[in-house]
Chain A
């Protein structure tokens, strides 16, 4: 055997061994809990889908929920209602920090159970200060505690949203009624939107969300509370599957003190407009230039 042939043979053996090692190293990919299909891999962004493709996406998601979780859910496409712009206000004088809104959001939006995820964080603030440095989100005692007040924080549905500008693939955008939505089937999971948000309003799915079948909320809409895959970002969408259907957000309905006010900013007779006209409201981190549609106020 010539030297050249011998070397080539050795290299071929080495190459084959290397390829086998690569295949072996990649073995965990085959044990993936989430299914990957060619159709799912090639799916376009929601914004590029035709009405027929949206329908087929809905059918696909419903079927997948049935197959994986054994649950029948109804998924709708809920586009914004023309001429409407949603706003939220929160009365800090009556909020007791009970976190009923946090729990309601958790259930309504099919959040991961083990991490107790929710779109809302409640800050326990120290009286005499609006500096968040004097606040905590991890309080664990009867509320309201003396010397404290409570400030729930969720997506502000900014008119000038930093998260939308951050996204490198246009997977999050602001719709006509002011709600910023996320396309869970298009997001690549870089988390730059979440890095960019000055309210820490966004959430990342570090693993496939886990929810017992009996607890899955079957009332779902695209870009809202469908079961999310692993590795994508999400955020509060003002319960768009409810509010674009004439209902109120789940956090508002759950609030025992009536601290939350929701409505159409373009309807002068709405409760939100009355609050904005009559109360001394303010926006969180207004200096950030985000122009929130979410306001806070203290009772006069």
Chain B
């Protein structure tokens, strides 16, 4: 009874403002390496911002996209990052559905990663727009969202809600901690469950954007959404493991061994699943043959003297395979460096095969079978680096604020940062 009373009691006046101020102060100070890291990220973000300002004032002509290759590096990163956002749920599921207490202690790291990833997704959509000034046309009721006809409209909704949901979850946990209370279960529990379902939804809808088009046979496969999820559940947990290992190495965050091991167990299944799906795709497309397989032929073997993606995709497949073998090897349980290396390989492999390796072959050849070469311009790389830097800034600042609360949750006897 006493507990319920404290939970429903309204917080003291200005507590939220005070907490926000405290978070701002915490995020802007720290040990020298942290400050240097944040400074470097800020500088890269500024370079990206400047590049975007040039693009916005002169048009997407500054990219190397064309009427044939309509989407490039931006949307490639977008699809990859939707996967990261969805993959972060692999901390939430063990923590809240399987009752893994060790995982629950650090699950907020997954939510923070989801927030940063979705923020990057939205930024990659914005920098891809020809008219960023008309972004408000996408806002329901204010603009003219073409829902439910347009799958892109669905994606706007699911991504937006996922961002708000995770932001609310993180805010509620951190704010409760600042008041010395536990999260209010009646709100927190259902929100967690919804966010798990929603993570599946964001990646499924994003796959539907691509696979539901009669104009793009390369994407026109029912395996798209399952493949998206499988690869997301590789890259997401892999990046989370890297984050946890880094936190253990460089901070005094109370990150135990157990969450990493749980994530590794998940990875051992999903890397195999991802490779299996790639194999299914390759068999179907090449055994069937015909003009529907031309995008895949361009990707894996080159088409009409354009073989720009061939080395990349084979490199990615090699990375995926080596990462799978390394993760399945018993050493991955014991050796931190081995595990981190395997996770890095898996992440880079998926960034390629689910980034440019997925987007560009949808456009080459074009529906009229034109083969127009695409390599991102320097400006596209600058903007992309800028968005990543901003995302890492958000993630780092979030971790900086959240980690002390993890410690308090653990109770007395633990190290504090």
Residue ranges of A at the interface with B (Cβ–Cβ < 8 Å): 7, 11, 14, 18, 21-22, 24-29, 31-33, 36, 41, 45, 47-48, 121, 123, 131-133, 135, 137-138, 153, 162, 164-171, 186-192, 194-200, 203-208, 229-233, 288-290
Contact = CB atoms under 8 A, between A and B. Distances in A.
A112 to B, nearest CB: 10
A169 B137 contact: yes
A83 to B, nearest CB: 27
Interface residues of B, number: 57
Contacts of B164: none
B128 A190 contact: yes
Nearest to B143: A169
**Residue among B28, B138, B213, B216 with the most chain A CB within 10 A?**
B213
B50 interface: yes
Contacts, number: 179
A25 B53 contact: yes
B70 A231 contact: no
Contacts of B53: 25-29
Contacts of B137: 45, 169, 171, 186, 188
A29 B59 contact: no
A19 B284 CA distance: 53
A31 B151 CA distance: 35
Contact of B131 (A14, A21, A187): A187
Contact of A207 (B59, B66, B150, B365): B59
Interface string B19-36: 000000100110000000
Nearest 4 A/B pairs, CB to CB? A189-B130, A231-B130, A207-B59, A168-B152
Interface stretch (B176-184, B193-201, B366-374): B366-374
B213 A123 contact: no
B360 to A, nearest CB: 12
B345 interface: no
Nearest to A184: B131
A198 B130 contact: no
Given A165-B150, A231-B60, 18 more contacts: A25-B47, A27-B50, A28-B54, A28-B58, A168-B152, A169-B134, A169-B143, A169-B144, A170-B145, A188-B135, A189-B60, A190-B130, A192-B152, A200-B370, A204-B67, A229-B131, A232-B131, A288-B214
B291 interface: yes
Interface string B143-178: 111100111110010000000000000000000000
Contacts of A48: 144
A195 B70 contact: yes
B262 interface: no
A168 B156 contact: yes
Contacts of A18: 42
B311 to A, nearest CB: 24
A137 B304 CA distance: 14
Contact of A196 (B138, B215, B294): B215
Contacts of A167: 146, 150, 152
Given A168-B152, A169-B137, A195 B215 contact: yes
Contacts of A288: 214-215
Residue of B130, B135, B362 with highest tally of chain A CB at under 10 A: B130
Given A191-B130, A231-B131, A25 B50 contact: yes
A199 B150 CA distance: 19
A36 B144 contact: no
B134 A188 contact: yes
A205 B370 CA distance: 19
B59 A206 contact: yes
9 contacts: A22-B46, A28-B57, A135-B369, A165-B149, A170-B144, A188-B129, A188-B135, A192-B150, A195-B213
Contact of B59 (A191, A197, A230): A230
Given A188-B130, A204-B130, A232-B131, A153 B213 contact: no
A32 B50 CA distance: 14
Contacts of B145: 168-170
Contact of A197 (B29, B61, B129, B367): B367
Given A26-B49, A26-B53, A207-B58, A198 B146 contact: no
B328 interface: no
A131 to B, nearest CB: 6
Contacts of B366: 200
Given A45-B144, A168-B138, A153 B368 contact: yes
B325 interface: no
B223 to A, nearest CB: 20
A188 B368 contact: no
A175 to B, nearest CB: 16
Interface string B350-378: 00000000000011011111100000000
Interface string B122-141: 00010011110111011000
A152 to B, nearest CB: 11
B56 interface: yes
A208 to B, nearest CB: 7
B301 interface: no
B29 A169 contact: no
A133 B365 contact: yes
Given A41-B133, A188-B130, A192-B152, A132 B368 contact: yes
A47 B144 CA distance: 10
Contact of A131 (B61, B67, B70, B291): B291
A206 B71 CA distance: 12
B215 A198 contact: yes
B49 A199 contact: no
Contacts of B215: 162, 195-198, 200, 288
Nearest to B291: A133
A186 B129 CA distance: 13
Given A204-B70, A230-B130, A11 B50 contact: no
Contact of B134 (A186, A195, A233): A186
Nearest to A194: B70
B368 A168 contact: no
Contacts of B70: 191, 194-195, 204
Contacts of A289: 214
A200 B368 contact: yes
Contacts of A27: 50, 53
Contacts of B60: 189, 204, 206-207, 231
A28 B50 contact: yes
A198 B362 CA distance: 12
A166 B367 contact: no
A33 B156 contact: no
